[in-house]
Amino acid sequence: MGTMAIIIIVSVMNGFIQLIGMFYSDFDPDLRITSAEGKMFDPSVVNTNKIKNLPGIVQYAEVVEEVAMLEYGKQQYYATVKGVPDNYPEYTHINKLLIDGEYYLEKDGINYAIVGRGVANNLGVGISFLDPINIYVPKKGRQFSLNASRVINHDYVFPSAIFAVLEDVDSKYIIVSKQFASELFESGNLISAIELDLDDQVNIYKIQKELDEILGPSFHVKNKEQQHDLIFKTMKSEKWAVYFILIFILLLASGNMIGNLTMLYIDKKEDISILRSMGMTSEKINRIFLFEGWLISFVGGVIGTILGVLLCWLQIHFELIKLPGANGSFVISAYPVQVQVTDILLAFVAVLSIGFLASWYPVKFMSTQNPTTSNID
pLDDT digits over 83-110, tens only? 999 999 999 999 999 999 999 999 999 9
Q: How far apart are CA 247 and CA 353, in angstroms?
A: 11
What does the pLDDT read at residue 342? 95
The domain locations on the chain are 2-16+231-376, 29-223
Whole-number pLDDT of residue 295: 92
- The pLDDT, as a whole number, for residue 146 is 60
The DSSP bridge partners found for residue 138 are: 152
> What proportion of the chain, given as a percentage, has pLDDT over 90?
72
**Cβ atoms within 10 Å, residue 121:** 14
Q: Supply the pLDDT for residue 327.
A: 64
pLDDT band at 377 (very low <50, low <70, confident <90, very high): very low
Residue 71 in 3-state DSSP? strand
Helix (H) or strand (E) holding 93: none
Say if residue 374's pLDDT is above 60.
no
| Spatial distance between the Cα atoms of 154 and 194, rounded to a whole number of angstroms | 26
Tens-place pLDDT, residues 121-158 = 999 999 988 899 999 999 886 566 666 667 899 999 99
- Write out pLDDT tens, residues 238-289: 999 999 999 999 998 888 888 888 888 888 888 988 988 999 988 898 899 8
Q: Please, what is the angle between helix 255-267 and helix 282-318, to 10°?
A: 140
